[in-house]
Amino acid sequence: MFDQFLSTILKADFLFSIIRITAPILFAALGAVVAEKAGVVNIGLEGIMSISALFGVLFSYWTQSWLVGVLGALVIGVILGLLMGFFALKLKTDIILAGIAINMIGGGGTIFLLYMFTGMRGNTGALVSQNILIPTVNIPLIKSIPILGEVLSGHSVLTYVAFILVFVMAALLYKTSLGLNIRAVGENEHAAESVGISVLRIKYIAIAISGAMAGLGGAFMSMYYSQGWNSGMIAGRGFIALAAQAMGRGEPVGTMLSSLLFGFAQALRTKVSGLQGVSSYLVSLIPYVFTIVGLVIYAISTTKKVRRYRETQVKAAE
Amino acid sequence: MENDNFVVQMKGITKVYPNGIAANRSVDFSVKKGEIHALMGENGAGKSTLMKILFGLEQPTEGEIIINGEQVVLSSPTVAISKGIGMVHQHFMLVPSLTVAENIVLGMVPTRNGVLVDYKKAIEITQEVSQKYNLQVNPSAKVMDIPVGMKQKVEILKALVRGAKILILDEPTAVLTTQETTELFKELISLKEQGYTIVFISHKLKEIKQITDRLTIMRGGRSMGVYETAATSEQEISRLMVGRDVLLNVEKERSQPTDTVLKVRNLEYTNKWNKKMLDNLSFSVRRGEILGIAGVEGNGQRELVEMLFNLNTPDGGTATVNGQNIINLSQDKIRDNKVSLIPEDRMTYGIADIASIEENVISDRFTQKRLNSGPLFNMRMIHKESDQLISDYAILCKTRKQQVKMLSGGNIQKVVVARELSSDPILIIADQPTRGIDVGATEFIRKKLVELSRAGAAVLLISADLNEVMELSDSLIVIYGGKVVAYFDDTSTLDDIVMGEYMLGLKHQSPEEIEKVCHD
Amino acid sequence: MTDRRMLVFNVLRGAAAIFLALTVGFIFIILSSDEPLTALRYLLIGPIFSIRNGILSFNTISFYTILAAMIPTIFTGLAVCVMFSANQFNLAGEGLVMLGGFIGALCAIYLKMAAGLHPVVCVVIAAIACGLVMLIPALLKVKLGASEMVTSLMLNYIIMFIVLHFLNYNFADRSKGATQTFPFEATAQIPALVPGSSKLSWGFIIALIFVVIVALFMYRTKWGYAIRMIGINQPFSKYSGMKVGATIVLSQIIGGVLSGMGGSIEVLGRYNTYLWRELPGYGWTGITIAILAKNNPIFVPFAAFFIAYLDKGCQLMSTYSDVPSEMIDIIQAAIFLFFAAEQFLAKYRQKVVVKNTRLEMAKAETRAVSTERRNA
């Protein structure tokens, strides 16, 4: 049983699928990272992904260009982020409730919107054709490397974008003045305000970027992963992203690693569900149970970490 | 012409808050160019308000401000900064995970091509300014890793780098060790020699004598005058700072204390900045007496109260109520021992603001049998009890259903007091019980405390209001540097001036005299 | 401002929020429908009125259907009221409705009991089980500080898959085309309150009874009081001697029990077999209801009726005109955003009012004191 397990996961195509499956979670998780850094909780990632996914397909169908579709999804993500920001920061709706509202729109609202724009019900089946999906890329040199080539080459454009964005996000946060301001606002609003930084403006920007990330994640799902939009396709990835961000200590690279972990869990589920005698339902549990377990481990280690940190502070002062 | 060596002139500054409290009453305050000027006064004297006005954080109700000969309206800190005024707050405004350099240039970050932060330049700027003003900082260290003394230097540099020529330092040595204080003073003198003007808010006599040129004393919202530091003795300063303008007269019969209720022995506590806040503190409180704790704030009173109600843990020592230990005991068990606390921060600990008066007043007793019949509340009893308390404590309100936050400050405090004093306590800890509330409520609460003590309760009164602590207490201890430095078993013969000297650390009793407060 | 004026202000504010939300819905209807006026008519008056030959008449069956739809959502609304009152953003009600329905169904199939007792036992077992499941996010929050929001969201999916697993592998009735369990014992089903197709069962009465029970619990017992005080101000509650951790756990367990009850009562009242193959969505509706009811159990039935009415309207709209029924989600989201937002706008207004009031009172007091002094 165990060697069967091992031989399953150590195959190139399995590793390939991990990367593929991780990408949408990673997008949303990066969105959670930037929001959290500015001190904003974005639990509407799930809804933003769903809505952007829909519009990604619609835009690409109308213009017959996948690029427009992806960009459109990104823009929709930004708009939704700003909408959340408006209600949470200006009208002072609890930001968590604002997130839940977005998720509701992402639930049934998307079905409605689909109908409104196309007259179709439930999914975009007929709209999608190969040419409007995100193309895959076979990287010239890498694809020839044995095993590694199979794992790394042949992913969709957006997959590579996701992982590149990890480092872009890190650069944004740690190398640009905007990133500096975001981190200042997230850690100590008063300090930021006292030097003339507009806390409100920074939070809007952060939540807009967060929405953009989720938008790309949605586009990934509908325009590559599932090759079309259907209601319920996001299946909680937006929430798993929150856990990934927490486990990744809120840092881009750490979040990438924890997202890969969740990607692994989901890939495992897909792989295992094909095996004989295994309930597809029990296997579907894996990523979600993983998330809770991960959160628990993180929580335990944080309490320990905080305690250790406090001790070093006392020592430093001595 | 006489004005041209004054960089700051504040004339007739009055500040009255919407709730009616006058924090500054027609205060005149002037600072000469290139001097280190101390602004002194106890907490509540009005010095923080005055400086907030100078830094544009508050607007005066009346009065004018002249900076470098020009009359200005300091409508915000940004305006104040543009006039060359910088403020170093008591609670640092720094971002912990950013480096020193990043904190210093925050809001005016040097960039390459407008987007990427030029970290090299930021470090250069930091080093330049650090050398120029001789304030040693480590530009690449994260603020959360540096000691408090360096954090303060970073705050000073932040102000200087934004062009401040007038620096306001708010109780700068409150968080520093002795060594860091010495270093700070060296730096301040160096800045003074370079032509900077410094306003130094403090109540520490020795420090002020050390480095200031002139001093302004505030008391009760008014200025008591400007004095040359060298020409004024510590005793004189103490007399001006600590004194009662109007003698309060609290009518009470002599107390006849009986057995000891609260025994605090050898409490020790060092806070996270490595400052010893409680130093072998010991005292006892007996039934039938009100023991007051007098002292300037920041000498351990806060920490003491926290230890007694499980909001913090001491490093050593004991505290018992009738023999039962109360250190680290959960609050419901502390209350079971008949201990009540009137907390200093009433909004955080004392009340649930959007709940009704009734709901607030039963929060410590709602599980008791007499207020419940079976699984449900006995609403009749609860209504009866709330109405009784509202009437007994003269809480001015429409109905018992009214939200507590709609009441005036004094009435909110009366809600807290009504609850805490009606549970038949044998030990009452009253922490600043009449701070910030109107005259009527104040008188009422004081009367109640006396009433209960005469009926047999032990009352521990902590108050920064000298009047209150001298008049209301039967006996009192003076706390300085986390220690008891004086014990007076009869407050009726006390003198302001003497009190001031003990409170400011100029005098302390012998260990034998102090020991008497333990009643062993 | 008097208390009465404040009350009127609040009601108007809430109405304005709802109106705004509906307007948003209307705009979408107008944009998406070829016959917006018909659609609107079905949405607004369709649910309880029918127009035949130009005569408006009250449609009783439709009205009863709306009441029937309220049964699960009253329970989830109550569950959220309790949990949100303690400031716990626990969203697992969604999954626990499904679990409650499933467990109740299993008890209905495999236990043999007398008619009056059977449904009670099914519901009780389902409720207790769901309450225990809530221990997971509750304890993780209290002991480890883990976000109850994320854990509860994950729990929803976990419950769904576990139920689906057991449904498909262990309890499915293979003789039927769609995946479902065996039929319930007749003794287990909750009888209909009203004859006909409305599916209005006695569960409705039970729901209303629980509205009263939960209202009493929240406002007339020491546990409900502690839950509310802790939700308002935790440091104050701790300082007053309340057991904060235990109360937080209790609030979530109660949320679980109520959600489980909602699920089991709905399944046993409406169906004769268990057939939910996905999360039924009552949990999210419960949140909307709790927000509209401002966490006060007494208002839950009204809010539930309002939402059920709108929902029915959306269904009619989708049947008789060309607007998809999912419009209800857009309206719900808009209600969320505006209604909860208005709350904060009002808080701001209240601050000003409070200041004024306090000033008035302080003035009055000082006047009174100085009069006394003068007279003394």
Query: Within the 282-301 window of chain C, which residues sit less than 8 Å (CB to CB) from chain A?
Result: 284, 287, 291
Question: Which residue ranges make up each domain of chain A?
Answer: 2-317
- Of B442 and A141, the structure prediction assigns the larger pLDDT to B442
In this prediction, what percent of chain A has a pLDDT beyond 70? 89
In angstroms, how far is the first alpha carbon of chain C from the final one? 33
Is pLDDT of C373 > 80? Answer: no
Is residue B302 domain-resident?
yes
Cα separation, C73 vs B140, whole angstroms: 57
CB contact under 8 A, C291 and A295: no
Token reading at A94:
């609890």
Residue A268 in 3-state DSSP?
helix
Is residue B443 domain-resident?
no
What pLDDT score was predicted for residue C222? Answer: 94
Is pLDDT of A32 > 90? Answer: yes
What is the CATH class of A2-317? Answer: mainly alpha
Order across the sheet with B222-228: list the strands: B85-88, B166-170, B197-202, B36-40, B214-219, B222-228
Contact assessment for residue B215 and residue B207, using Cβ atoms and an 8 Å cutoff: no
**Mean pLDDT along residues B120-149:** 90
- Of B356 and C368, the structure prediction assigns the larger pLDDT to B356
Residue-wise pLDDT for B199-254, tens only, equals 999 888 888 999 999 999 998 888 999 999 999 988 888 888 887 766 667 778 88
Contact assessment for residue A114 and residue A54, using Cβ atoms and an 8 Å cutoff: yes
Residue-wise pLDDT for A33-48, tens only, equals 999 999 998 999 999 9
All chains having 3 or more CB pairs closer than 8 angstroms to chain A: B, C
Is residue B258 domain-resident?
yes
Do B235 and B360 lie in one domain? The reply is no
Model confidence band, residue C69 (pLDDT cutoffs 50, 70, 90): very high
What pLDDT score was predicted for residue C358? Answer: 60
Contacts of B108 in chain A (CB under 8 A): 195
Instruction: Report yes or no: C54 at the B interface, CB cutoff 8 Å.
Output: no
What pLDDT score was predicted for residue A317? Answer: 42
Residue A307 in 3-state DSSP?
helix
- In sequence order, the 6+-apart residues with CB closer than 8 A to the CB of C121 are C107, C111, C113
What pLDDT score was predicted for residue C155? Answer: 93
**Mean pLDDT along residues C260-266:** 95
**Mean pLDDT along residues C309-313:** 90
Q: Tell me chain C's radius of gyration from C-alpha atoms.
A: 24
Do B169 and B113 lie in one domain? The reply is yes
Q: Which of A26-30, A308-312, B176-180, B508-512 has the lowest mean pLDDT?
A: A308-312
Do B234 and B276 lie in one domain? The reply is no
In this prediction, what percent of chain B has a pLDDT beyond 70? 98
Residue B501: which domain range? 250-338+426-434+453-520
Strand partners, B64: B11
Token reading at C277:
């193959």
Is pLDDT of C70 > 90? Answer: yes
User: Of B219, B241, B263, which residue constitutes the final position of a domain?
Assistant: B241
Token reading at B394:
């003269």
HEC string of B140-185 equals: CCEHHHCCHHHHHHHHHHHHHHCCCCEEEEECHHHHCCHHHHHHHH
What pLDDT score was predicted for residue B185? Answer: 92
A195: nearest CB among B97, B106, B273 = B106
Is pLDDT of C44 > 50? Answer: yes
**Mean pLDDT along residues C228-238:** 94
Which CB contacts under 8 angstroms, 24+ apart, belong to B401-404? B401/B356, B401/B357, B401/B358, B402/B356, B402/B357, B402/C3, B403/B353, B403/B354, B403/B355, B403/B356, B404/B351, B404/B352, B404/B353, B404/B354, B404/B355, B404/B356, B404/B357, B404/B360
Under DSSP, the state recorded for A176 is: B
For residue C327, give the nearest of C7, C10, C2, C33 by alpha carbon: C33
Is residue B441 domain-resident?
no
Cα separation, B440 vs C19, whole angstroms: 47
CB contact under 8 A, C336 and A104: yes
CB-CB neighbours of A46 under 10 Å: 28
Contacts of B147 in chain A (CB under 8 A): 316-317
Cα separation, B334 vs C241, whole angstroms: 8
For residue A81, give the nearest of A98, A59, A61 by alpha carbon: A98
In angstroms, how far is the first alpha carbon of chain A from the final one? 56
Is pLDDT of A314 > 50? Answer: no
Is residue B447 domain-resident?
no
Would you tell me the crossing angle of helices A252-273 and A2-9 to the nearest 10 degrees? 120
Half-sphere exposure of C92 (CA within 13 A, CB side): 34
CB contact under 8 A, B348 and C235: yes
All chains having 3 or more CB pairs closer than 8 angstroms to chain C: A, B
Do B99 and B206 lie in one domain? The reply is yes
Instruction: Report yes or no: B440 at the C interface, CB cutoff 8 Å.
Output: yes
In this prediction, what percent of chain C has a pLDDT beyond 90? 44
Is pLDDT of A309 > 60? Answer: no
Q: Kind and range of the H or E element at B26?
A: strand B22-32
Do B374 and B291 lie in one domain? The reply is no
Look over chain C and give the mean of its residue pLDDT values, rounded to a whole number: 86
Instruction: Report yes or no: B501 at the A interface, CB cutoff 8 Å.
Output: no
Is pLDDT of A128 > 60? Answer: yes
Contact assessment for residue B42 and residue B464, using Cβ atoms and an 8 Å cutoff: yes
Question: Which residue ranges make up each domain of chain C?
Answer: 69-322
**What is the CATH architecture assignment of C69-322?**
Orthogonal Bundle (1.10)
Q: Which one-letter amino acid corresponds to residue C97?
A: V
CB contact under 8 A, A314 and B272: yes
Is residue B128 domain-resident?
yes
Model confidence band, residue C370 (pLDDT cutoffs 50, 70, 90): low
Do B254 and B225 lie in one domain? The reply is no
Contacts of A197 in chain B (CB under 8 A): 106-107
Is pLDDT of C350 > 90? Answer: no
Residue B408 in 3-state DSSP?
coil
Do B325 and B372 lie in one domain? The reply is no
Is pLDDT of A72 > 90? Answer: yes
**Mean pLDDT along residues B142-153:** 89
In this prediction, what percent of chain A has a pLDDT beyond 90? 41
Model confidence band, residue C213 (pLDDT cutoffs 50, 70, 90): very high
Is residue B49 domain-resident?
yes
Contact assessment for residue B422 and residue B432, using Cβ atoms and an 8 Å cutoff: no
Which phi and psi angles does B256 have, rounded to 5°?
Answer: -125, 80
What pLDDT score was predicted for residue B20? Answer: 67
Residue-wise pLDDT for B448-505, tens only, equals 999 999 999 999 999 988 888 988 999 999 999 999 999 998 888 888 888 888 988 8
- Of A127 and C117, the structure prediction assigns the larger pLDDT to C117
**Mean pLDDT along residues C280-295:** 92
What pLDDT score was predicted for residue A237? Answer: 92
In this prediction, what percent of chain B has a pLDDT beyond 90? 58
Under DSSP, the state recorded for B517 is: G
Q: Which of A172-181, B33-42, C178-187, C343-352 has the lowest mean pLDDT?
A: C343-352
CB contact under 8 A, B352 and C236: yes
CB contacts < 8 A, A to B, total 64
Q: Say which CATH number the domain at B464 has.
A: 3.40.50.300
Contact assessment for residue A236 and residue A288, using Cβ atoms and an 8 Å cutoff: yes
**Mean pLDDT along residues A6-10:** 70
What pLDDT score was predicted for residue C362? Answer: 62
CB contact under 8 A, C144 and A291: no
Token reading at A69:
């579709």
Nearest 10 degrees: Cα torsion C256, C258, C261, C267: -90
Token reading at C257:
């029990």
Is pLDDT of B261 > 80? Answer: yes
Q: Which of A250-259, B112-121, C355-364 has the lowest mean pLDDT?
A: C355-364
CB contact under 8 A, B145 and A316: yes
CB contact under 8 A, C239 and B349: yes
CB contact under 8 A, B355 and C243: no
HEC string of chain C equals: CCHHHHHHHHHHHHHHHHHHHHHHHHHHHHHHCCCHHHHHHHHHCCCCEEEECCEEEECHHHHHHHHHHHHHHHHHHHHHHHHHHCCCCCCCHHHHHHHHHHHHHHHHHHCCCCCCHHHHHHHHHHHHHHHHHCHHHHHHHHHHCCCHHHHHHHHHHHHHHHHHHHHHHCCECCCCCCCCECCCCHHHCCCECCCCCCCCECHHHHHHHHHHHHHHHHHHCHHHHHHHHHHHCHHHHHHCCCCHHHHHHHHHHHHHHHHHHHHHHHHHHHCCCCCCCCCCCHHHHHHHHHHHCCCCHHHHHHHHHHHHHHHHHHHHHHHHCCCCCCHHHHHHHHHHHHHHHHHHHHHHHHHHHHHHHHHHHHHHHHHHHHHHHHHC
Is pLDDT of C191 > 60? Answer: yes
Chosen from C233, C250, C347, C354 to mutate, greatest number of chain B CBs within 10 A: C233
Do B27 and B134 lie in one domain? The reply is yes
**Mean pLDDT along residues A147-162:** 83
DSSP per-residue letters across B224-293: EEEEETTTS-HHHHHHHHS--SS------PPP---SEEEEEEEEEEE-TTS-EEEEEEEEEEETT-EEEE
C28: nearest CB among A43, A111, A116 = A116
CB contacts < 8 A, A to C, total 145
CB contact under 8 A, B377 and C222: yes
Residue-wise pLDDT for B92-109, tens only, equals 889 999 999 999 999 888
Buried-exposed string B125-134: b where 16+ CB fall within 10 A, e elsewhere: bbeebbeebe
Chosen from C31, C83, C143, C157 to mutate, greatest number of chain A CBs within 10 A: C157
Do B187 and B270 lie in one domain? The reply is no
Residue-wise pLDDT for B402-430, tens only, equals 899 888 888 999 999 999 999 999 999 99
C144: nearest CB among A105, A116, A300 = A300
Is pLDDT of B276 > 80? Answer: yes
Cα separation, C167 vs A255, whole angstroms: 36
Contact assessment for residue C327 and residue C317, using Cβ atoms and an 8 Å cutoff: yes
What pLDDT score was predicted for residue C376? Answer: 46
ipTM of the predicted structure? Answer: 0.83
C336: nearest CB among A101, A112, A235 = A101
Cα separation, B310 vs B323, whole angstroms: 17
Residue-wise pLDDT for C73-126, tens only, equals 999 999 999 999 999 999 999 999 999 999 999 998 888 888 888 889 999 999
Contacts of C168 in chain A (CB under 8 A): 279, 281
Model confidence band, residue A318 (pLDDT cutoffs 50, 70, 90): very low
Match 């100590």 to its residue by tokens: A188
Q: What is the domain count for chain B?
A: 3
Cα separation, B364 vs B342, whole angstroms: 12
**Mean pLDDT along residues B278-301:** 92
Instruction: Report yes or no: C251 at the B interface, CB cutoff 8 Å.
Output: no
Contact assessment for residue A215 and residue A77, using Cβ atoms and an 8 Å cutoff: yes
Q: Any idea what the Cα angle at residue B418 is, between residues C238 and B331, rounded to 5°?
A: 20
Q: Which of A294-308, B37-51, B431-445 has the lowest mean pLDDT?
A: A294-308
CA distances from A12 to A70, A159, C200 (A): 28, 17, 57
Is residue B440 domain-resident?
no
Model confidence band, residue C368 (pLDDT cutoffs 50, 70, 90): low
Q: Tell me chain A's radius of gyration from C-alpha atoms.
A: 20
